[in-house]
Structure 1
Amino acid sequence: MGDWGVLELEGDPTPGDPDAVREMAVRLRGQAELAEANTARLRAIGSSTPSASRHTGCVRI
């Protein structure tokens, strides 16, 4: 791997699987994008008029 002795360390201070980290980052980005899209949809529903909500199939309580 690497020579961590230069930094006075015995081994890698952040061991892990880079591929697994990349995969998780992709999944988390997808979840974040979905959350942003859903937030925008909810804001649109919240700001719509009663007549607009009737046309989109939303139920106002």
Structure 2
Amino acid sequence: MGSGSVKIAVSEYAKKIKADLIVVGSHGHGTMDMLLGSRANAILHYAHCDIWVFKENK
């Protein structure tokens, strides 16, 4: 995929392959991160397509 910002790398790759959906796992630690996760949240706000965020069952 590449290097650099996760949100940019994932989003740009999804755009390149004309993805309709990005699926991301989350294990958030902070306030907003508890809902989404920091990387998932960043991708959510940057991506051009729908995103499905799932949380790990503990």
Shorter-chain TM-score bucket reads under 0.3
After TM superposition, the score normalised by the length of structure 1 is 0.25
Instruction: Judging by fraction of residues, say which structure has more helix.
Output: 1
Instruction: Judging by fraction of residues, say which structure has more strand.
Output: 2
Larger Rg: 1
